[in-house]
Amino acid sequence: MELANRIAVVGQEEGWGPSYTKATYRRWMVNGEPAGSEPNVSTSLRAIGQEPDRVVPLAKSDRIGDQLVEATNEARELGIFGAPSFIARGELFWGDDRLSDAIQWLKRGTLAPT
């Protein structure tokens, strides 16, 4: 999984992070190929127009590793402890079943019914 996270850092830097994240999780959930493993890594990267022979060595670099550590520490400081987690107006929402609450909180600042 760490390799998948490192690749996502590269993707965020280069502007294709969301596409990679969707592709790799789709292969994991649909095909049972864990993120960060083969053939998920290569297939997901190629599906979004990226070359694994370029991206994987970059993802394994110390610079990307340092960025991942920094992002992980920032997430911990925000109280994020699992995925998916959403921060909206400073409030933490954890779990995919809380996405609609996070959106409502972001838009209205309350979960009270309208």
| Position 82 pLDDT exceeds 80 | no
Query: Is the Cβ–Cβ distance between 21 and 74 less than 8 Å?
Result: no
Average pLDDT score over the chain: 91
Residue 26's CB: how many other CB atoms inside 10 A? 14
Distance CA 26, CA 48 (A): 13
| Position 15 pLDDT exceeds 80 | yes
Alpha helices in 1-114 (DSSP H): 2-14, 17-31, 40-47, 52-59, 62-77, 99-108
Instruction: Give the per-residue pLDDT at 97.
Output: 78
| Position 87 pLDDT exceeds 80 | yes
Domain residue ranges in the chain? 2-77, 79-114
The token pair at 20 is 């990679």
